[in-house]
Amino acid sequence: MQSDRRIVNLALIGFMGTAKTSVGRLVAESLRFEYVDTDEMIQSGTGRIVSDIFKTDGEAAFRALEEKTVAELASRVKTVIATGGGLPTNLNNFTSLKKHALIVCLWASPEKIWERVKNQSHRPLLHDENPQAKIRELLAAREPFYKQADVLLNTELRSVREVAQQIVHQFRLATSSR
């Protein structure tokens, strides 16, 4: 564990469709923490939706906004931070979050992810000729980043409530000895 860590927040990372939002809201409620979502922060800060930023300014511009948002979160306490699926692939984001948050990764197989996202249309990276192949490709590329989380939880066989309970338990364990 990094010696300069002070765990006062909880960050949820993981691929699109791993239920970060619904799990994050429940965890925040249980811990009596505030809930924030980096995509929502970007949207309210810019007055634009994520897919428009991707389309008009490109992915690199969106990733710069993500990094700025993560830097702003460094002064937070008692906050559950749900992050966009690609955010932890930027080392600056991972390093920054790790200083103040327990990092929990929600995991699911490409098949399960496809099942969960196939009827949704707001994710620009899945506007692809073959979204299932895109999910497999992105997930494989991101796996090494996701697996650096403090806690890795498979969400496939657990309900949102069970996943949230596990996370609350892990957070209490991680913060009780200090």
Whole-number minimum distance, CB 153 to ligand S3P, in Å? 16
N-to-C CA span, the chain? 13
For residues 172 and 32, the answer to whether their CB atoms sit within 8 Å is no
Tell me how far apart the alpha carbons of residues 52 and 69 are, in angstroms, rounded to a whole number. Answer: 18
For residue 28 the two structure tokens come to: 């925040």
Tally Cβ neighbours within 10 Å of residue 112: 17
Using the rule CB under 6 A, which residue among 19, 39, 70, 98 binds ligand S3P? 39
Whole-number minimum distance, CB 86 to ligand S3P, in Å? 3
- Per CB under 6 A, does 85 bind ligand S3P? yes
Using the rule CB under 6 A, which residue among 86, 98, 110, 150 binds ligand S3P? 86
Whole-number minimum distance, CB 57 to ligand S3P, in Å? 13
Segment lying near ligand S3P (by CB under 6 A), choices 117-125, 129-137, 150-158, 166-174: 117-125
In the beta sheet, which residues pair with residue 151?
104
Using the rule CB under 6 A, which residue among 16, 70, 102, 103 binds ligand S3P? 16
The one-letter amino acid code at 114 reads: W
Segment lying near ligand S3P (by CB under 6 A), choices 24-32, 78-86, 108-116, 167-175: 78-86
